[in-house]
Amino acid sequence: MVTIAACQELHQDWLRNLAGVTRGRTFSTHESDWAWLPARRQLVLLYPQRISPAGIRPGLAEGMRLGAQSVSVWMNNAASYAPLEAFGFRRGPQPLWMSAPVSAPQQYSAAAAALDPDPPEVTGPDADELAAGRTHPRTAWHLTTRGDGKLTGRAWVYDPTAADQPSNTPDPITGRPGIPAAPARKPRKGSLAGIFGLSVGPSSRRSGYGTALLSRAAAVAAAAGADRLAINAAPGGAELCAARGFELIGRGQYLFLDLR
């Protein structure tokens, strides 16, 4: 059974990975772990068990020194966010952690979604973060959907356990230049892959693109050896995820601070 703790650990790992591939960094202050995402000029506080002003003050000071324009905080729903209000943080939409076996979303068509490591339409911070899909061994895969040749949606699949493979092991999804993809890896019981950053353009919603991204992400995760999926769904996307086989695991908290 997937736990909310496992989902949050996976999310932390994804954010640390993004920091690493974009030349950011991670650091710790008192009872606080942080990730600096330079492409977004964003500092992220990663699931503190308790909010300690003695850890928040130096963390924010370091963020200001680095040039942060915003600070995000991801928290377990059981933790109290009240001390953050004194620093000016505001609550954002409540994250909903959901999970499904990789087989469930694959029952729906993935035809509109494909692996797309370097889409030319992606610019700015999103383009910088495409580096996450170029590591070896590969642990992240970027997907897009298109309609009439235009980009309509995108998502990431992340499986950190894929890093346990030897560096010369062919990617089970894409292979390597000139080399066919290797056979899908044997599913690892309890192995959890994450779907992050799933978004569909406002004018393209309710057209099957979100479903296609979920289905293709499930197929990619299965080929990488995962047997379960986790997604951090916004309230507006939870209905789609539930209709495609995902079950609610638990709720979290998200807060933000604008430094501009």
User: Does the pTM exceed 0.85?
Assistant: yes
The whole-angstrom distance between residue 188's C-alpha and the CA centroid of its chain comes to 20
Predicted local confidence at residue 163, as pLDDT: 75
Alpha-carbon gap, residue 19 to 59, rounded angstroms: 16
Predicted local confidence at residue 118, as pLDDT: 95
Domain range list for the chain: 4-95+254-258, 99-251
Predicted local confidence at residue 183, as pLDDT: 44
Identity of residue 43: L
Alpha-carbon gap, residue 49 to 75, rounded angstroms: 8
Please list the pLDDT of the chain residue by residue as tens digits (260 residues): 899 999 999 999 999 999 999 999 999 999 999 999 999 999 999 999 999 999 999 999 999 999 999 999 999 999 999 999 999 999 999 999 999 999 999 999 999 999 999 999 999 999 999 999 999 889 999 999 999 889 999 999 999 988 776 555 556 566 443 333 444 555 566 699 999 999 999 888 889 999 999 999 999 999 999 999 999 998 889 999 999 999 999 999 999 999 99
Residue 180 burial class via C-beta count within 10 angstroms: exposed 0-12, middle 13-18, buried 19 and up = exposed
* Torsion angle (degrees, nearest 10) of CA 46, 49, 50, 55: -40
User: ω before 101 within 30° of 0 (cis)?
Assistant: no
All residues at 6 or more sequence positions from 86 whose CB lies less than 8 Å from its CB, including other chains: 53
208: left (phi over 0), alpha (psi -120 to 50) or beta: left
Predicted local confidence at residue 176, as pLDDT: 43
All residues at 6 or more sequence positions from 239 whose CB lies less than 8 Å from its CB, including other chains: none
All residues at 6 or more sequence positions from 176 whose CB lies less than 8 Å from its CB, including other chains: 170
Residue 215, classed as helix, strand or coil, is helix
The vertex-237 CA angle with 104 and 123, nearest 5°, equals 105
Class of domain 99-251: alpha beta
Beta strands 96-101 and 90-91: pairing type? unpaired
